[in-house]
C-alpha cells in the first residue's frame, strides 16, 4: 500500500495544505481561499476550493430543479407527486451529504478525488 504524503504548511499561514483543502469544502471558505494568499497560489488547495464551489453550485441547481419539477407535478396531480418526490429528495440529499463527507475526508488525507464533471472543471481552473 502506498504511503500518504506528509502535509506541508502553506507559507506563513500556520495551516497545513490538507486542513486548508478540507476546510475549503465549506463553500464560502473555499471561495475565500481562492482570493487570499497563500492559498490562491497552492494548486492542491485551489483544486479543492474550486471543486467545492462548483459542487455547491451544482447541488443548488439540482435542488432548484427538483422544487420546480415538484411544483409542476404537484399542480398537475393535485399534490400526489410529493408522495414520490419527498422520498426521492431525501435520498438525493443523503447522497449529496455522503459525497460531501467523502470529499472532505479525501482532501484531509492529501488525496485529490475528482468528481466526474466538476473535478475536470476544477482542474481546468487550476491549470493542471
Residues 75-109 pLDDT 10s: 888 777 777 788 888 999 999 999 999 999 999 99
**pLDDT > 90 in the chain, percent:** 45
Confidence of residue 124 (pLDDT cuts 50, 70, 90): very high
Which residue, among 69, 64, 19, 54, has the nearest Cα to 39 in the 3D structure?
A: 19
Helices (H) and strands (E) in the chain, counts: 5, 0
* 35-44 residue pLDDT tens: 888 888 889 9
pLDDT above 80: residue 60: yes
- Using CB atoms within 10 Å of the CB of residue 64, give its burial: 0 to 12 exposed, 13 to 18 middle, 19+ buried: exposed
Amino acid at each position: 500500500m502506498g504511503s500518504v504524503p506528509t502535509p506541508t504548511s502553506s507559507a506563513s499561514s500556520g495551516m497545513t495544505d490538507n486542513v486548508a483543502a478540507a476546510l475549503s469544502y465549506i463553500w464560502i471558505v473555499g471561495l475565500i481561499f481562492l482570493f487570499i494568499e497563500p492559498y490562491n497560489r497552492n494548486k492542491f488547495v485551489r483544486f479543492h476550493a474550486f471543486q467545492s464551489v462548483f459542487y455547491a453550485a451544482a447541488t443548488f441547481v439540482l435542488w432548484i430543479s427538483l422544487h420546480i419539477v415538484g411544483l409542476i407535478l404537484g399542480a398537475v396531480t393535485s399534490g400526489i407527486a410529493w408522495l414520490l418526490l419527498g422520498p426521492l429528495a431525501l435520498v438525493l440529499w443523503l447522497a449529496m451529504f455522503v459525497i460531501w463527507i467523502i470529499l472532505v475526508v479525501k482532501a484531509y488525507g492529501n488525496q485529490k478525488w475528482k468528481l466526474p464533471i466538476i473535478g475536470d472543471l476544477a482542474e481546468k481552473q487550476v491549470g493542471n
